[in-house]
Amino acid sequence: MHEGFTSSDDIRGFIGQEVGAKFEAFLKTNVDIEDLIRNPHRFRELEFDAKYMATFMLASWISKHRKTMSKCFPLIDQMCQEKHEYLVLTAMSIKWRHLVQFFHELFAYQPEYKKVLHDIAVGIRKEISA
């Protein structure tokens, strides 16, 4: 798409029929991150692809709204009620220079998230070391 190929045939020609169909469905996914921040309970209503898209959109939103990032913390609560994976993906997608501030504010808001992320990191370390 970066090179100007936007037709379904071109996209599927480059990445294959199955992946192309999934990619097109992903592109049609509509997520309003501002609405989700105002109404975190709506995260439960999103389809599978939309939930993952929301994690990446939230990371971008956090980087742009550093002074008011705490507004999104209830959405993070909602996301984590389903899977902690959503928090990990969001954190991994935040611009590096904003990540420390995000963690400081998130852990002040909910100290339990520090333990959650620590446990995930320890689990990964054990798997890699084995």
Instruction: Give the chain's domain count.
Output: 2
- Interatomic CA distance for residues 127 and 130, integer angstroms: 5
Query: Which contiguous run of DSSP H or E holds residue 108?
Result: helix 96-109
Q: Do residue 39 and residue 17 come from a single domain? A: no
Q: Do residue 8 and residue 35 come from a single domain? A: no
Q: Do residue 14 and residue 44 come from a single domain? A: no
Q: What is the pTM of this model?
A: 0.78
Q: What phi, psi does 19 have (nearest 5°)?
A: -65, -35
pLDDT in tens, 42-61: 999 998 889 999 999 999 99
pLDDT in tens, 103-116: 999 999 999 999 99
Q: Do residue 61 and residue 49 come from a single domain? A: yes
- Interatomic CA distance for residues 95 and 105, integer angstroms: 15
Q: Do residue 112 and residue 62 come from a single domain? A: yes
Q: Do residue 14 and residue 35 come from a single domain? A: no
Give rounded-to-5 percent helix, strand, coil for the chain: 80, 0, 20
Q: Do residue 22 and residue 44 come from a single domain? A: no
Q: Do residue 25 and residue 46 come from a single domain? A: no
Q: Do residue 5 and residue 44 come from a single domain? A: no
Range of the domain at 16: 1-29
Q: Do residue 101 and residue 41 come from a single domain? A: yes
